[in-house]
Amino acid sequence: MAIPIARAGSRRWAVMAANARFSQPSSAPKGRAVPFSSRFFWAPSSLPDAGEDTLARVLDLYQRDPFLAARLAQAIETEAMVPQHMASARRGRADFATLAGAAGELLTAPGGARVAMLELGGFDTHANQGAERGSLAGPLAALDRGLAALRDRLADAWPQTVVVVVSEFGRTVRPNGTRGTDHGTAGVALLAGGAVAGGRVLADWPGLAGAALHEGRDLRPTTDLRSVLKGVLRTHLELSEAALEREVFPGSAGAPAVEGLVRA
C-alpha cells in the first residue's frame, strides 16, 4: 500500500484513515501487502470532465493495451463510487472538511477503499505564526473540521478505524525575526479513531534546554515515524513483518514497530 507521507518539501500534513473492515480483499492472502492492481485512487481533478465521446474513444484505444484497459476500467469504477456532491469538485476548490467527508463515504462504501490519504497545506509558517490567532490558526482549524467530518461520515465504522496525522518536518523551537518559525527536524504524529488505544502521549521527551536541542535549534527526534506506521499497519491491517520490511519500508530493520497503538 502507499504510505501516506507528503512528499519532501510539500509543506503539508498528510492524513491517513485506515478501516480494518476492508483490510484485505477476499482474494488477498492474509499478511501480504496488496498488489497495485487491487488498489484504486481518486482525487479531485483540475481538468474539465471528459465528454462521453472522448471517453468512448479512449476506451476503444485502450482495448489494444491490457494494462491501460484495466486501469481505465478501474478508474471508471472508482469514479462511480465517488459521492455525487464530489463528482464535479475541482482540485483546490473543495475545502478540506468536504474532502474528508468524501473520504469517509469511500471508506464505508460496499467494496470501497481500505485506506484514504488526504493532504492539507498552510503549515509553512515562516511569518506571523501566532497561537490562537495568526497564520497557524487557520490550517489547524481546517484540520479539526476535517477530522470531525471524517468521523461523522464513518459513523458506525469509526470503531474499526485508525487515523494517522503526520508532517514531513517540524518547526524550529525558537521564533525567527518575522514572528514565525523555520523548518525543523522533529515534530508530532497524531493518532485518532475508535481502534486506537489512545488517551496517551508516547514519547521519550528530550526537553527544550539548549543542550538538548538537535544542532542547537530543533526538537531532537526520538522516534522514527516508520516505527509508528509499522505499528499501525502490522496490527490494524495485519501486514506481516516480512511485507513491511520488503515492500512498504525497505531497509527499515532498525526502526521496529511501536507496540500497543491499536486496540486488540
Question: 258 in a domain, yes or no?
Answer: no
Domain that holds residue 77: 43-81
Whether residues 219 and 168 fall in one domain: yes
Whether residues 139 and 215 fall in one domain: yes
As for how many domains the chain has, the answer is 2
Q: What is the pTM of this model?
A: 0.75
Question: 238 in a domain, yes or no?
Answer: yes
Question: 158 in a domain, yes or no?
Answer: yes
Whether residues 77 and 95 fall in one domain: no
Whether residues 69 and 182 fall in one domain: no
Question: 56 in a domain, yes or no?
Answer: yes
Whether residues 143 and 65 fall in one domain: no
Question: 253 in a domain, yes or no?
Answer: no
pLDDT of residue 128: 92
Give every residue of the chain whose pLDDT is below 50, as ranges.
Answer: 1-12, 21-38
Question: 264 in a domain, yes or no?
Answer: no
pLDDT digits (tens, 9 = 90+) for 250-261: 999 999 999 999
For helices 137-154 and 96-108, the axis angle rounded to 10 degrees is 20
Whether residues 62 and 179 fall in one domain: no
pLDDT of residue 141: 94
Whether residues 221 and 239 fall in one domain: yes
Question: 228 in a domain, yes or no?
Answer: yes
End-to-end alpha carbon distance in the chain: 22
Q: Among residues 22, 52, 81, which one ends one of the domains? A: 81
Question: 86 in a domain, yes or no?
Answer: no
Whether residues 120 and 199 fall in one domain: yes
Q: Report how far residue 103's alpha carbon sits from residue 109's, in angstroms, rounded to the nearest whole number.
A: 10
pLDDT of residue 207: 92
For helices 52-62 and 66-81, the axis angle rounded to 10 degrees is 140
Whether residues 66 and 173 fall in one domain: no
pLDDT of residue 84: 61
Whether residues 63 and 137 fall in one domain: no
pLDDT of residue 11: 40
Whether residues 116 and 180 fall in one domain: yes
Whether residues 174 and 241 fall in one domain: yes
